Structure 1
Amino acid sequence: MSRVTHLLLSAFAAVGLAGPLLAEDFQGSTHTLAYEDPPISYSAQKPNDRVAKLQAQIASGEVKLKWDDQFGWLPALLDALKVPKSSQMLVFSQTSLQRHAINPRNPRAIYYDEDVYVGYIPNAPMMEVSAVDPKLGGIFYSLDQERQDKPTFTRNQDCIQCHVSGRSLGVPGHFVRSLETDGSGDMISGTDTSEVDQCTPIADRWGGWYVTGQSGAQTHLGNLVGVTAFERHKTEPTLRDNLTELSQFIDPQKYLRPHSDIVALMVLEHQTHMHNYITRLNYETRIMMSMYGHIRYLKSQEDAFLRYLLFTEETPLTAPLVGDPQYVKDFLAEAKRDSKGRSLRDLDMKTRMFRYPCSYLIYSPAFDALPTVMRDHLLQRLYDILTGSDTNPQFAKIAASDRQAILEILRETKPNLPDYWRAKTAERASDPAITAPAKVASSAP
């Protein structure tokens, strides 16, 4: 196992979460897929993610990273990848193989944008970098913190030993965890039972994390250092909530920002799981088409994907969440807006995460790279849901006003939608890979 097997998001921390699988989790279909076999051949494929592209630019001399005497490659790398410094979040669980460099006084900083994640630990020998490849899912790298003319990212195949599991929906991906730690940041065995996503109650999130920002009376597990703090939290549930700065725990000068932002955490938890859904559908479609020539056995996976895309089981907020205004500004800077000024990136953070409940990752290269048969089918089903012709109860809670707004926003902002999205009525797709009777019904997985 490499030094970075527990790279990045799999090392995220806090109290274990119990309970049954949500319906969104592919009906429990989280078993590991045969990602090293054809047609996927994960490790044999050359990545085409943004880190791989940056490496090529560095090698050609098109990009030159500037070394910083305090932070090493961190500031230049964030600038080159266009990852906002305001996305900084701090996690102190000792779950990386650089675990001895991590403790509550020296947490790991995580920075991210739509499909790149950067991990930095003060005084650690390397940085941890990963990206979402449109067809392969999570790709994991390390970058030595050594001054050199052309820094080199090393792809770490061993990382997938932990980054392919039920937590990542059985494909190479990212996930956020919740577990208890002792006073040194070491995990307490038996407390880590689930990943964190948009369906997780706020009360069960962020143990092992530092959290800055306002959550009102909504309690969470952030900023709890050691067993005593967790015990005290049981009788004083808002003990360390609503913090605006972290100087009681860390030296802020060791980091680029003084925050570990609550809104950035919320968006991260949606994004990581959404990307895993996209990768899972990509893999399963390619496997099903190679085996059977159709995707009719993926109905429950499609349903689960669409429910997550449309936030149907999102945990409700009972008070507004207020984070770093700079993060909000940076996140909204990437918004695609319609003629009414609306965007799927518009935040709500009062009763739910987003103003318009449809994931902004529908614009992502990973969604667009889904096999055509699946992408077209999902767009047809999404259109049916938004126009009300799909009356399935699993989507009934989506308000009519939200459906209309999402439909209008996508019509104006998502390129290459099928023509029927802009027509008054739509004809259903009749692709035999989707609708024809199964030829080998007994072979259904």
Structure 2
Amino acid sequence: MRISRTLMVATIVLAVAPIMAQEPYDEEPINYSDKSVDNPIARVQEQLDKGDLSLDYDDEHGFLKSVLKALEISPESQVLVYSKSSFQLQQISPRRPRALYFNDDSYVGWVQRGDVLEIMTTDPIRGEVFYTLEQQPEEKPKFVRDQGQCTVCHASSRTQRVPGGLVRSMFVMSSGMPHYGSGTFNTDQTSPLSERWGGWYVTGTHGDMRHMGNVYSTDRYKPEQLDREAGANVTDLSELFAVEKYVTPHSDIVALMVLEHQLQMQNYLTLASHESRRSAHHDQVMNEALERPADYVSETTERRVQSAAEKVVRHMLMVDEAPLTDAIAGTSRFTEEFQAKGIKDSKGRSLRDLDLKTRLFKYPCSYLIYSKTFDQLPFNMQATIAQRLREVLAGEDTSGDFDHLSSADRQAISEIIAETKPELWKLGQ
């Protein structure tokens, strides 16, 4: 019996190890390629199939406006990218930028004269799921699930090796083609403004700070030499391209900053979802093979959960956020609309309150703590995150990594979470 069990365990370990090395989000228990029914696009498609919803088509934007309405995405979230960095790149240029729109869980890409709308939406267990919608008049439009092409770029080290989103900043030519040889930046809240938004339009004011947006490289041999002054504090894009072709004339700087935070925060939450589920599945297999109790939790699983939870907490509490040295102001209504959606405590405070003077958020803790992905994390992952949050906010962590949080910040964040998400706060006790 002992010999056969040893052989059985060895076989399992050999089978599991190669899979783990391949980032197996398409294996048990994630099963990424299986039909995703718990995401906004799946729910919209179900309504379309039942006849409870219809999408209107117009010659200028196709299904765009109707899809935004169905997904409850505000046009004020519009940001514009002119680098040729998506699969409809032939239609994209500084004269015809690609438009992106987003809310907390869905993202829609629209290209002038494009064949399809590009959609990325969040499955709370699997991560980001990708669809296209053909830009042709149809009585019953059909969202088509991507079969793996999107995850070539959208499931890499840039997305924590889970299906996710990213914002890339590049040095681009006047055609919109990136100078890949000059390197690119994967940007988020930790990126200095000097590395952000190459190949993007940016509307808004930011004082003496400079970014890479609104301009392109004019010297093919020295593409890093950008005229950053020409792209600074731009509030009107009408001289650069035909803004009337778009739903709004904006590519709001605040929307861009929120988008950068949100995409990487969602990636860390997806990583936490995958790690906790995969490690539990591994324990289940090994417990059965070794005839251990079914609820036995290995030290490896504990380490994996703690590691993923730490990454979530660090990004959630804005560790290493690049400081703002001047005030930021957008040009659209995005700032007002974003803040209005906040869940407020009895003092009127919300984790969606923006600072925009020295940092992004007034209370540096991510609003995605209220997301479906967070709420559907396995119990052990939620409990580990809650415990770490309590330790940090109570001042018990002496590592120095969270010194950017003042005592007033810690108290405010603790009070907001305790009042607006009490079920999580109790897990940390």
* TM-score range for the pair, normalised by the shorter chain length: 0.7 to 0.9
Answer with 1 or 2: which has the greater Rg. 2
After superposition, the C-alpha distances for 1:112-152 in whole angstroms (9 at most, x for unaligned) are 01010000011111110110110010100000011111111
> Who is 2:345 aligned against?
338
State how far apart, in whole Å, the 1-side matches of 2:386 and 2:35 are.
Answer: 28
> Does the alignment pair 1:179 with 2:163?
no
> Who is 2:39 aligned against?
49
> Who is 2:303 aligned against?
297
Q: Which amino acid aligns with 1:328?
A: T
Residues 263 and 323 in structure 1, CA contact (< 8 A), matched pair in contact too:
yes
After superposition, the C-alpha distances for 1:131-187 in whole angstroms (9 at most, x for unaligned) are 011001010000001111111100012211221100010000001111111111111
State the Cα distance separating 1:288 from its structure 2 match.
1.4
Q: Which amino acid aligns with 1:178?
A: S
> Who is 1:124 aligned against?
114
> Who is 1:323 aligned against?
330
> Does the alignment pair 1:210 with 2:217?
no
> Who is 2:53 aligned against?
63
> Who is 1:380 aligned against?
387
Residues 88 and 110 in structure 1, CA contact (< 8 A), matched pair in contact too:
yes
> Who is 2:355 aligned against?
348
Q: Percent identity?
A: 42
Which residue among 87, 95, 103 is the counterpart of 1:105? 95
Structure 1 residues 130-209: aligned runs within 5 Å? 130-158=120-148, 159-209=150-200
Q: Which runs of 5+ in 2 are unaligned?
A: 1-19, 284-296
After superposition, the Cα gap between the structure-2 partners of 1:114 and 1:420, relative to the gap in structure 1 and judged at 3 Å, is closer
After superposition, the Cα gap between the structure-2 partners of 1:388 and 1:230, relative to the gap in structure 1 and judged at 3 Å, is farther
Query: Which TM-score applies when normalising by structure 2?
Result: 0.87
Q: CA RMSD in A?
A: 2.0
> Who is 1:401 aligned against?
408
After superposition, the C-alpha distances for 1:33-54 in whole angstroms (9 at most, x for unaligned) are 2111111111124341111111
State the Cα distance separating 1:31 from its structure 2 match.
7.7
How many pairs are equivalent? 393
State how far apart, in whole Å, the 2-side matches of 1:235 and 1:218 are.
Answer: 14
Which residue among 257, 271, 274 is the counterpart of 1:283? 274
State how far apart, in whole Å, the 2-side matches of 1:176 and 1:403 are.
Answer: 29
Query: Which TM-score applies when normalising by structure 1?
Result: 0.84
> Who is 1:439 aligned against?
none
> Who is 2:11 aligned against?
none
> Who is 1:264 aligned against?
255
State how far apart, in whole Å, the 1-side matches of 2:88 and 2:226 are.
Answer: 34
Higher relative contact order (CA 8 A, sep 6+): 1
After superposition, the Cα gap between the structure-2 partners of 1:325 and 1:386, relative to the gap in structure 1 and judged at 3 Å, is same
Look up the SS of the partner of 2:424 in the other structure.
coil
Residues 210 and 260 in structure 1, CA contact (< 8 A), matched pair in contact too:
yes
> Who is 1:24 aligned against?
none
After superposition, the Cα gap between the structure-2 partners of 1:248 and 1:40, relative to the gap in structure 1 and judged at 3 Å, is same
Moved more, 138-147 or 67-76: 67-76
State how far apart, in whole Å, the 1-side matches of 2:22 and 2:235 are.
Answer: 41
Which residue among 63, 84, 88 is the counterpart of 1:94? 84
State how far apart, in whole Å, the 2-side matches of 1:62 and 1:235 are.
Answer: 51
Which residue among 30, 37, 45 is the counterpart of 1:40? 30
After superposition, the Cα gap between the structure-2 partners of 1:242 and 1:31, relative to the gap in structure 1 and judged at 3 Å, is farther
After superposition, the C-alpha distances for 1:284-332 in whole angstroms (9 at most, x for unaligned) are 1111122233432223332222111100210000001100251112111
Moved more, 230-239 or 103-112: 230-239
Q: Which amino acid aligns with 2:41?
A: V
Moved more, 156-165 or 101-110: 156-165
State how far apart, in whole Å, the 2-side matches of 1:275 and 1:31 are.
Answer: 22
Residues 189 and 261 in structure 2, CA contact (< 8 A), matched pair in contact too:
yes
Residues 348 and 354 in structure 1, CA contact (< 8 A), matched pair in contact too:
yes
State how far apart, in whole Å, the 1-side matches of 2:384 and 2:419 are.
Answer: 20
Q: Which amino acid aligns with 2:55?
A: L
State how far apart, in whole Å, the 1-side matches of 2:22 and 2:82 are.
Answer: 28
Residues 383 and 427 in structure 2, CA contact (< 8 A), matched pair in contact too:
no
Q: Which runs of 5+ in 1 are unaligned?
A: 1-29, 427-445
> Who is 2:294 aligned against?
none
Which residue among 210, 232, 238 is the counterpart of 2:229? 238
